[in-house]
């Protein structure tokens, strides 16, 4: 069956900047990442197993997913993340849902430290088609999204800088704490 032979991921350009000293010490510290021109495909087959689960030989939510007690403390300081010209395909053969979208450009940063979580994102994408339950769109819809969020886990506070989303002419904006 050719359904199971479709690639999950194809990328034409990958750039990663990392700290070599930290790598020698056994850690990974990535400060920049760029992924350009490619696609990612996520499929759920009739037996409810996804293409990623089948490729990895695991079941999400299965026995190997239950023991999360020994999670290490992590620090992430990704100064720049960029996705350019990436096609995203989602196909659920079980429920007959489908989505195809083109990420024209996603720029962002992400910091995850014990006392602060900060994320910024600027997204320009087109939704080419969606079929979900009774909702169906087959004409292209552009989405522009921009936001910055700061989370203080100690003070249990979330701050959202002025953020906006534009979908085919409709514009929404939010901010606050």
pLDDT tens readout for residues 64-87? 544 555 445 566 788 999 999 999
Residue 1: the pLDDT is 44
| DSSP secondary structure letter of residue 50 | B
Residue 60: the pLDDT is 85
Q: Given the DSSP bridges, would you call strands 97-113 and 170-176 parallel, antiparallel or unpaired?
A: unpaired
* Cα 90 from Cα 97, distance rounded (Å): 8
pLDDT means over runs of 10, the chain (177 residues): 71 92 79 95 93 89 55 72 96 94 96 89 95 88 95 93 92 94
* Cα 177 from Cα 36, distance rounded (Å): 34
Backbone angles phi, psi at 27, to 5 degrees: -105, 170
Residue 47: the pLDDT is 93
Backbone angles phi, psi at 153, to 5 degrees: -65, -30
Residue 66: the pLDDT is 47
Residue 4: the pLDDT is 53
Nearest alpha carbon to residue 159 among 172, 175, 144: 175
């Amino acid at each position: 069956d050719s359904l199971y032979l479709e690639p999950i991921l194809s990328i034409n350009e990958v750039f990663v900047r990392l700290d070599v000293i930290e790598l020698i010490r056994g850690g990974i510290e990535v400060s920049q990442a760029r992924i350009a021109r490619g696609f990612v495909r996520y499929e759920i087959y009739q037996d409810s197993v996804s293409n990623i689960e089948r490729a990895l030989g695991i079941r999400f939510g299965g026995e190997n997913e239950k023991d999360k007690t020994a999670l290490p403390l992590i620090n992430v300081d990704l100064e720049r993340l960029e996705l350019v010209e990436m096609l995203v395909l989602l196909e659920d053969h079980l429920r007959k849902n489908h989505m195809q979208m083109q990420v024209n450009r996603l720029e962002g940063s992400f910091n995850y430290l014990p006392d602060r979580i900060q994320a910024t994102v600027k997204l320009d994408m087109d939704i080419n088609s969606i079929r979900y339950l009774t909702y169906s769109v087959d004409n292209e819809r552009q989405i522009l999204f921009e936001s910055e969020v700061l989370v203080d886990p100690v003070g249990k506070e979330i701050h959202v800088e002025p953020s906006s989303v534009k979908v085919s002419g409709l514009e929404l904006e939010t901010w606050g704490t």
